[in-house]
Amino acid sequence: MKKAAGFIKKNPSFCVFAVLALAVIAVAVFAPALATHDPYEAVLTNAVQPPSAEHWFGTDRMGRDLFSRVLYGARTSLTASLSLVCIIMVAGTLLGIVAGYFGGVLDAVIMRISDMMISFPGMVLAIAVAGILGANMTNAVIAIAIVSWTKYARLARSLVLKIRSRDYIAAARVTGSKTSHILWKYMLPNALPTILITGATDIGTMMLEIAGLSFLGFGAQSPTAEWGLMLNEGRAYMTASPWLMVFPGLAIFITVVVFNLLGDSLRDVLDPRNE
């Protein structure tokens, strides 16, 4: 308890943003309890109503309650972007550690692929991959993952290279430590803080990219409650019912701000240079 109080006192901004992020996650988790209506129930006689006491954010062209849809959108958006960040973090780190530790052909192949991805605007390939694989949320996540893992691979590789020739690694090898043990107990913990910071600051960016793909029609499909898709659906009704594009956009904006702030403050907490 005392330790926790000390941590809060030392890192007040991180704690505030962590609580805010948890609040956003709580909205996603408890969306069914918080929603005032069924987000998928279309009442056509009630279409495109402006915000009112009954429908706080108004209703969309199908007469669905926008407030409930925005809440459920948090589920779609958070699930997709958090799993995306996890995928690229795990895959990129593993490939990077392997490339850095073993070197040789493996390193050459992994790094040339990563060169290829970096010398190319990622969003173009992501759009192409998502479009070709077929438009749905899973494919959108796969598409962005394919073009984004290289950052983590490069990072992990450079961190491994930094310590690979240190004496304690040589000592571990000489005393007969298994390679898997060295990778797991020495290489990974060494790379982890930097990787985690990068991952945390990436959540917001990934959220924007997923919403962007959905907005273009290459991500979530109707009738899913997803903010990018909702913006796209509301676009046609902009003149008469601007609330359709105000609230989902605001939801993306707030969530991205919270996660960006959290990422930045996590960097301040974990960065060893701040000790």
Residue ranges in contact with other proteins by CB under 8 A? 112-113, 115-116, 119-125, 127-129, 131-134, 204, 208, 211-212, 215-218, 228, 231, 235, 238-239, 242, 245, 249, 252-253, 256-257, 260-261
Instruction: Give the nearer residue to other proteins in terms of CB position, either 101 or 227.
Output: 227
User: Which residue, 127 or 191, has its beta carbon nearer to other proteins?
Assistant: 127
How far is 33 from 61, CA to CA, in rounded Å?
A: 24
| Nearest approach, Cβ of residue 262 and other proteins (Å) | 12
Nearer to other proteins, 171 or 250 (CB): 250
Nearer to other proteins, 118 or 170 (CB): 118
**What sign does the CA torsion over 257, 260, 262, 264 have?**
negative
Of 103 and 131, nearer to other proteins (C-beta) is 131
Q: Minimum distance from CB of 143 to other proteins (Å)? A: 10
What minimum distance in Å lies between the beta carbon of 131 and other proteins? 3
Residue type at position 172: A
State the minimum distance, in angstroms, from the CB of residue 215 to other proteins.
5
Q: In the complex with other proteins, which residue's Cβ is closer, 123 or 192?
A: 123
